[in-house]
Amino acid sequence: MRPVGEAALLPMANVAMIDYTLEFLTATGVEETFVFCCWKSAEIKEHLQKSKWCRHTSPNTVRFVTSDLYRSLGDVLRDVDAKSLVRSDFILVTGDVVSNFNISRALEEHKLRRKMEKNVSVMTMIFKESSPGHHARCHEDDIIVAMDSATNRVLHYQRTQGLKRFRFPMSLFQSSIENVEVRHDLLDCHISICSPQVAELFTDNFDYQTRDDFVRGLLVNEEILGNQIHMHVTTEQYGAHICNLLMYKAVCSDIIRRWVYPLTPEMNFTDDKNQSYTHSKHNIYRGVDVSLGHGSVLEENILIGQGTVIGSNCFVTNSVIGQNCRIGDRVILDGAFLWDRVHIADNVEICHSVICDEAEVKEKVKLKPRCVLSSQVVVGPDITLSEGTVISLHPPDEEEEDEDQFSDDSGVNKMESKVKLKGYNKKDVGSEGRGYLWKADDKNEEDEEEQRQSLWGPALHSEEESESDSDLSLGSEEPDSRTASPQLDDIKVFQNEVLGTLQRGEEENISCDNLVLEINSLKYAYNIGLKEMMQVLSKVILEFPLQQLDANSDSQNYFSALLPLLKNWTPLFKNYIKRASDHLNALFAIEEFFLEHDSLCTSIAKVLMTFYQLEILEEDVILNWFSLRDTSDKGKQLRKNQRLQKFIQWLEEAEEESSDGDQD
């Protein structure tokens, strides 16, 4: 029996998620657990070896299996079959399941079913009943199930994925089943009791990647394969699969509110001496050596880790605070999840946000709901982060390829060099801040609600999506960063190369023709399209003066530095900007640049003017760009810039004149 483990080391109420999973398995009577791990296996192994699971007294023998070849649940189970690790029924869970479910009844039912009809039922899925609108219902994990209410057989299993209508094939409603029950009140706990056949079936069907594939395949081919899936619904016991930050928050607060009893903080089930808590009324848990300043109020549902110091006149409610945190005076924490060694300065207000290890929040910072500060990020002082802000140490272009901004610090060194090239945006993180704004998908702003969902909800998740779709259901089990999307990589590298080329060109006074040749060869080497080419070029040139000037320079200085560059490199632009779409792309890149550098915003009119005067951009394209409607709010703001409007007005008049001239 085993969970498919993965990098579930994120602390959930100060305990790593995998510990909850292992505790659940042990408590339910599992005696042997295989942890399969494909990513950050070294850290997980280290964590497990330190934990009580690897002591001699542990009733549950934990074995650790790791391989670079594991890229999905399917791979793991095929390997299980190949090595024939299991011969009897086993429990399949992911490493981010929190549950106090007692499996024995479901297991009995499962065994009985297999006895009655030999080997027909291969899997029993565990569901928890929870009505729509329940806070622990996860949007992306929302499911709809059709079952035979007499036998608990699963007839249809589907993720709702925001569908408005659900379709059930007519074949479900055979006369043999009198009462088909359609249920939308179930939470998939991602716990399944499997027979050894499951592993064999994965081997037979090499296209199955996830459990979803398996379930779908089995249900669709039921007639052919003759296998059935059953389900067990629990109403009393707790089970949840943490797939995004919303779920993280919901489950965390459930743990503190003792819904997962006996898995409560003061039980210290991990048997770690740093994790002993005292439980007092209003669900306030305190670790050892917690100091609380004068006049500070702990309202309710609070967990404070060992060694944390809270200043005076603070107000804390519904929050989790990790070990060895320093919290200043007059701090308000409402629904905050602080991991270990977080520093919070005075007069900070944090609302429904997650702050990872060793992050620092300076004075007078305000975090609106659903913010995330990844590890070692510094924000402030005196800044307000708007709703859903995510800040990590990795530059925004880089973020798609790094796996975990919350607990990952291996990438930091690598990034250090880039940091030198690109300053932190003071607008985003404050004057003493360290970190970059992380954007989920800034081009997709048509649906605001969806946007918010993707920022906070699947924040953990969206990183994985770029890796491989098949990994979705497996939580963070994913291949390592080397396999990250090559295209993004290339653009980034290409951008650096172009930057280098231009720098050299500037220093050594290389002619534009030669620069064009060099950039062209780079373009082919990295297989860059014209569109990306245009964006990269505009961006690099616009950012060029920033390196020479210090970060606080105003737009005047910036423009005077930019002007000679633009004049020098006019042939370069002219070489690439030929069609109308190129013009537009260049304009978009310019817009993007100025959106990112708010302080330089005022010079946009001048820059455009220069482009126009140098005959790089044509007037009708600029007008066209200006009148584009489907822009973001920020873009609209930008267009309200007075100078820009004057420039546009001037352009319009100029055009009228010229067209008049044409008529004459």
Comparing CB distances to other proteins, the nearer of 127 and 593 is: 127
Q: Is 176 an interacting residue with respect to other proteins (CB under 8 A)?
A: no
Residues 6 or more apart whose Cβ sits within 8 Å of residue 322: 11, 14, 305, 308, 338, 339, 340, 341, 342, 357
**Residue 282 in 3-state DSSP?**
coil
Does residue number 151 form part of the binding site for other proteins (CB under 8 A)?
no
450 binds other proteins (CB under 8 A): no
Contact 557, 549 (CB under 8 A): yes
Compare residues 146 and 609 and give the one whose CB is closer to other proteins.
146
Smaller CB separation from other proteins, 176 or 627: 176
Residue 178 in contact with other proteins, rule: CB under 8 A: yes
Residue 174 vs 487, nearer CB to other proteins: 174
175 binds other proteins (CB under 8 A): yes
Instruction: Using the rule CB under 8 A, give the single segment among 159-167, 292-300, 385-393, 426-434 that binds other proteins.
Output: 159-167
Helix extents (H) in 205-244: 211-220, 222-225
Instruction: Find the shortest distance in angstroms from Cβ 96 to other proteins.
Output: 25
Sign (positive/negative) of CA torsion 426, 429, 435, 437?
negative
Q: Interface with other proteins includes 150 (CB under 8 A)?
A: no
Q: How far is the CB of 167 from other proteins (least distance, A)?
A: 4
Q: Which of 45, 111, 183, 216 is the binder for other proteins (CB under 8 A)?
A: 183
Alpha carbons 448 and 618: distance in angstroms, whole number: 34
180 binds other proteins (CB under 8 A): yes
Judge residue 338's burial from the number of C-beta atoms within 10 Å of its C-beta, 0-12 exposed, 13-18 middle, 19 or more buried. Answer: buried
Phi-psi region for residue 444, left (φ > 0), alpha (ψ -120 to 50) or beta? beta
Position 482 contacts other proteins (CB under 8 A): no
172 forms part of the interface with other proteins (CB under 8 A): yes
Separation of alpha carbons 133 and 205, rounded Å: 37
> 4 near 474, Cβ under 8 Å?
yes
| For other proteins, the closer CB: 148 or 532 | 148
With tokens 């602390």, the residue in question is 11
Question: Interacting stretch for other proteins, rule CB under 8 A, among 162-170, 355-363, 516-524, 649-657?
Answer: 162-170
Confirm or reject binding of residue 282 to other proteins (CB under 8 A): no
Q: Pick the closer one to other proteins by CB: 207 or 223.
A: 223
Locate 345 and state its tokens. 């300065």
Nearer to other proteins, 169 or 529 (CB): 169
Name the minimum Å distance from CB 140 to other proteins. Answer: 15
Among 185, 490, 506, 598, binds other proteins (CB under 8 A): 185
Tokens standing for 124?
A: 């029993």
With binding defined as CB under 8 A, does residue 654 bind other proteins? Answer: no
User: Which of 50, 117, 119, 173 contacts other proteins by CB under 8 A?
Assistant: 173
Q: How far apart are CA 229 and CA 92, in angstroms?
A: 14
Residues 110-149 that bind other proteins (CB under 8 A): 131-133, 144, 146, 149
Question: Tokens representing 98?
Answer: 């929190």
Cα dist. 135→72, 77, 126, 186 in Å? 29, 32, 19, 13
Footprint of other proteins (CB under 8 A): 131-133, 144, 146, 149, 160, 163-170, 172-173, 175, 178-185
